[in-house]
Structure 1
Amino acid sequence: MAEKIAVVESFLSCHVCSETFRDPVSLSCNHNFCSSCLKKFWEQTENKNCPICKRKSSKEFPGINFGLKELADSFAGRQKPGSSEIEKQKEKDEVVCEKHPEIPYWFCEDEQRSLCPVCEFSLHQSRKVVPIEQAVSDLKDQLKSELKSLQDKRDKYKQVEETYSEMREHTKKQLLSTERQIRQQLPDNPERITLYPEVLGSEGFSSGKHSWEVEVGDHPRWNVGLVKESANKNEASASPEYGFWCLEHGDEEYMNGADQTFRVKKSLQRIRVQLDYDRGEVSFYHSEDMTHICTHRDTFTEKLFPYFCVAPAKDAKTTDIKICHSDISLSYSGM
């Protein structure tokens, strides 16, 4: 019995003052000391190394190990400050057996209390009882596991916080960059179209015969045809005078941009545009039966590009016009 008590006493003793722990703290190297002893030792040595293994502490100052404190206080018979006499007596009864004043070295895990090895052990054979050293070790392992879990959560939180900060800074930089791009004064590029919602074909023609079809549906306002490369798309009207050879639809009328209006048997849904560059002709047909609508005749001296323009659709079902790629036919001559 005396040997076992000596083992417990050694486990619960501070290596600095050689007394039973008071407010014990645990370092990362798993060595334990009285809080005041460790503080005094660090002040004297002017470093934060472990008094035993000399390993540097990972913390500014560790917190109280309450599990170890409770065991040390129980071993030393200390009472909590401010406890009533009844509470003090109760704590004493739980720690020290009146018949056998030896320090109990068994621990009932079901009741979470120490047991007298003579009086109570036989009464707890159906319960889970372990040596107090094992209980202390298990408690330390549990605390380490919980501490590890908290540290992992803290590290994950820091990682998420860092990622969020990086994303926030990146987003802010993107926002500022985009805002600068929006507000920057761009040079006057003749290819830019800003006055009307119009677009040019990517391929221009300077010879040969070419044709394609455009599906306009019931769109109320559109303009399709060809435009010369040097035409001013932002100021001029879409007429042959300014280098536009088109068929225009608006106010339920079909026009050629040269003050000529055409009548059709029924509303055009799909139009074929035909260019004969060498003969100087741009013709428009009703795709359904190839009924001729109109033809522009002129002398072409520069590259021509397909031209498409739409106005707001309002209540029409068709909100855009489509180039029918499957029906495009291109033929070249003189090449």
Structure 2
Amino acid sequence: MSTSLPEEDLSCPVCCEIFQDPVLLPCSHSFCRRCLERFWKSALLRSCPVCRRRASKKSPPSNRALKNLCEAFQLGKGQGNASGSNLLCWRHGEKLKLFCLVDQEPICVVCQASKMHKGHDCSPTEEAALECKDKISSAIMVLQQKLEVFNKARQSSAFILEHIKTQAQRVERQMKEEFLKLHQFLYAEEERRLSALKEEEEQCVTAVKSRDEDYTRSIGSLTELINTMEQTLKAEDLTLLQNFKATIEGTWSTLQDPERMSGCLVDESKYLGNLKYKVWEKMQTIAPYSPLILDPNSAHPCLTLSDDLTSLHYSTPNQGLPSNPERFHISAEVLGCTAFNSSSHNWEIEVGDNEDWILGLASESVKRDQEVPARPENGFWTICFRDEQYRAMSSPPTALQVEKKLQRVLIQLNWDKGEVVFLNPSYQEVIYTFKHAFTEKLLPYFYTQSKHPLRVLSKPVLLSIN
């Protein structure tokens, strides 16, 4: 029904296009809502653009009947004019020969001349279609690449989840083994101390019993002497007088008074005084303190770390490690797990027979996915041993004079003074000193391509009482 109406009856008097969201004024004229608002914005009074009658309402009501007629007209126009791939303009019924580059839509030549597209750049539909296809193809390639990135990230997530489970199981097993050693030590120490207590108890009991036997013999002698003297008292006077001298002298020659038994009790303080501390102090023989712990999450796959994370050596690559950002991916490097940004710190490394190593400190932000020289400009302060030569990795590298092959290297960091000092602990000789105004956190740094281990030496624990 609507398709039989003339297009002029369904056109807005302002834009001359099919009504879009038509509204009805009190004067019975209809306009596109947007066209009316645009007209009122530029006019002094809110009036009808056709008859100039003043409108009483700020927001005129929608003309739903007219809107339905326009929609039916556009639908019938589009369906009736469809011919193969050449669709007609739903507004003007003309062929869509142009593509508006501003509004990104196909239009007809009448649309190009209308107010809606006037002054817009346009291209022939064939040319525009080729350009759009190229853009869509390029967009698809970008999205496919992005999809591949996300698929790889998801695969990496699955791999990391599996690695986390493996890590947790390995750490749990090692923790149980370490605690078992501690338990065995405590049980053995408990048995040793209880055995010592039992031995002292027996010694004290034996000593008291021996003294008690002496007392028993003394009591027997005194009892016998008292009986003899009592018999003397009962004798006749002459007999008493005759035996008096011997009897009275025997009285003064009797045993001395028993001495008080000192030190015969169990020394409780020896067993209970600071018991936990003494056991802990002795426990250091099986639980040494390491001033430095290696970070396995930063270790290159070619490095194998000890269970206690205090030594490393070069080995066959471990393919079961995730490619996390903290890990070195190019060179056989690893960092310590504690970062320093103040005060003084030192640790000693046993290099032994290792003939290819680099030791020192690295900034927290050093590149881990690229191979860069371990020099100060790249955030490294190190010395190295390679090809039987010692060098400080300065810029350029500095050859070091070392009389005997180093077995150990002592590294001292004074962050506040900006110094990294390398020493030979066997002779307390300074090997090399770096000076730099540090601004980042520093981490202990290790590199090796030798199967001989580099080992962090333990330190004795010194206590101070506050």
Same fold (TM over 0.5): no
**Greater per-residue helix proportion:** 2
TM-score band, normalised by the shorter chain? 0.3 to 0.5
**Greater per-residue strand proportion:** 1
Bigger Rg, which one? 2
- The higher-RCO structure (CA 8 Å, 6+ apart) is 1
